């Protein structure tokens, strides 16, 4: 029996602020899973701490709401032990690029086959609107008493340099497009990253829905109001590395596009490279039968509760008479 969208929803009361961009991302995740008919029990959503961190509670799959900044190592641990799980990690920009930036870099180096989605609202939502790492230098949202002191970090470029092998950007109010991105990220073999632009109407009065829609953004040529976001795929941009040798060029163009901001903000797939072995592949290089019997599928004791592991060889080597 086909799973319906409703099957992916819980009855937990959602207490995000009215109009929060998080709702769109939540819907997109649920739609993606439902369109892919991912069995409920096969998926696990991991999250960090923040408004965004509450996401798993609203999704009817396994849901692990972890610690601030640590969602990636938690999620990787589960995926490595059981590669059959569909693992999605989600969290805020403060969570992932502030306190969690170190794990972000190191996860890129591993390329574990899973998806990581950052809810990018440029503020620390749940702690009441402090500047997040994606807020531009000198910006003063209504939640700040003084302009932001720090340069912003570019999540797309950072992911690229870290080694993520699928990098895209979505917008929380373009749920359909975002849903497609999430599906592609899930299908990707390797670590996929999605930077999702997420208005926080409560604290961020700069990067609002209206701002992204471009209500104040006029085409210099024809004077027409135009949305700030545009879709890479609609411009003929192709971020997919089809041959390994293309990687460097494609990275270059992705970086270039990632620097666009202000009146033109690209959405879509910036980069995808399936020629990099996943962490799972690399483990197979050490443990040939890893994918057949990964840690989670090993019987460690027999019916008599005796260990199945045999230490004979190891111990023999140490015997006094050896």
Ligand X SMILES: Cc1ncc(C[n+]2csc(CCOP(=O)(O)OP(=O)(O)O)c2C)c(N)n1
Footprint of ligand SF4 on this chain (CB under 6 A)?
Answer: 16-17, 20, 22, 51, 121, 125, 200-203
Q: State residue 14 phi and psi, 5-degree precision.
A: -95, 120
**Which one of ligand SF4, ligand X, its own copies, none is in contact with 68 (Cβ closer than 5 to 8 A by kind)?**
ligand X
CB 51, CB 126: distance < 8 Å: yes
Q: Beta-strand (E) ranges in 50-113?
A: 62-65, 86-92
**Among all chains, which residue has been given the structure tokens 């208005």?**
199
Nearer to other proteins, 220 or 285 (CB): 285
β-strand pairing of 86-92 with 166-171: unpaired
Could you give the string, one character per residue 141-180, with x where binding to other proteins holds by CB under 8 A and - elsewhere? ----xx--xx------------------------------
CA dist 120 → 131, 132, 208 (Å) = 12, 9, 12
Q: How many residues bind other proteins (CB under 8 A)?
A: 92
Residue 4 in contact with other proteins, rule: CB under 8 A: no
Shortest distance (Å) from residue 53 CB to other proteins: 9
b (16+ CB within 10 A) / e for 19-28: ebbbbbbbbb
Shortest distance (Å) from residue 101 CB to its own copies: 4
CB 59, CB 14: distance < 8 Å: no
Residue 320 in contact with other proteins, rule: CB under 8 A: yes
Closest CA to 64 of 39, 44, 43: 44
Which residues contact its own copies by CB under 8 A? 97-103, 105-106, 108-111, 133, 137, 146-147, 149-154, 157-158, 161-163, 248, 252, 255-256, 259, 276, 279, 282-283, 285-286
Nearer to ligand X, 92 or 214 (CB): 92
Kindly state the tokens that stand for 8: 């992916």
CB 43, CB 88: distance < 8 Å: yes
**Which one of its own copies, ligand X, Mg ion, none is in contact with 97 (Cβ closer than 5 to 8 A by kind)?**
its own copies
Shortest distance (Å) from residue 205 CB to ligand X: 15
Q: CA 91 to CA 224: how far, in whole Å?
A: 36
Shortest distance (Å) from residue 152 CB to other proteins: 13
Shortest distance (Å) from residue 146 CB to its own copies: 6
Which residues contact ligand X by CB under 6 A? 49-52, 68, 92-95, 119, 121, 123-127, 132
Closest CA to 212 of 170, 152, 257, 269: 170
Shortest distance (Å) from residue 289 CB to ligand SF4: 36
CB 123, CB 204: distance < 8 Å: yes
């Amino acid at each position: 029996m086909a799973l319906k969208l409703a099957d992916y929803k819980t009855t937990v009361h959602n207490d995000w602020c009215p109009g929060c961009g998080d709702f769109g991302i939540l819907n997109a995740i649920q739609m993606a899973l439902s369109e892919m008919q991912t069995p409920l029990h096969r998926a696990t959503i991991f999250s960090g701490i923040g408004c965004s961190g509450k996401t798993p509670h609203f999704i009817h799959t396994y849901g692990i709401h972890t610690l601030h900044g640590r969602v990636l190592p938690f999620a990787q641990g589960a995926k490595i032990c059981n590669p059959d799980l569909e693992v999605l990690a989600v969290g805020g920009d403060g969570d992932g690029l502030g306190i969690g930036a170190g794990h972000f870099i190191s996860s890129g180096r591993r390329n574990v086959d899973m998806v990581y989605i950052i809810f990018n609202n440029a503020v620390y939502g749940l702690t009441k609107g402090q500047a997040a790492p994606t807020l531009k230098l000198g910006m003063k949202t209504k939640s700040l008493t003084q302009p932001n002191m720090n340069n912003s970090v570019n999540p797309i470029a950072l992911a690229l340099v870290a080694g993520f092998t699928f990098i895209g950007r979505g917008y929380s109010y373009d749920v359909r497009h975002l849903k497609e991105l999430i599906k592609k990220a899930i299908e990707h073999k390797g670590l996929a990253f999605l930077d999702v632009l997420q208005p926080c109407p409560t604290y961020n009065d700069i990067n609002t829905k209206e701002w992204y829609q471009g209500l104040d953004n006029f085409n210099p040529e024809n004077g027409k109001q135009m949305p700030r976001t545009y879709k890479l795929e609609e411009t003929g941009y192709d971020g997919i590395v089809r041959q390994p040798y293309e990687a460097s060029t494609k990275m270059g163009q992705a970086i270039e596009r990632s620097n666009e901001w202000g009146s033109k903000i690209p959405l879509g797939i910036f980069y995808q490279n399936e020629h990099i072995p996943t962490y799972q592949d690399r483990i197979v290089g050490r443990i040939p039968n890893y994918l057949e019997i990964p840690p989670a599928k090993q019987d460690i004791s027999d019916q008599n509760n005796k260990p199945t592991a045999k230490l004979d060889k190891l111990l023999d080597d140490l015997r006094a008479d050896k």
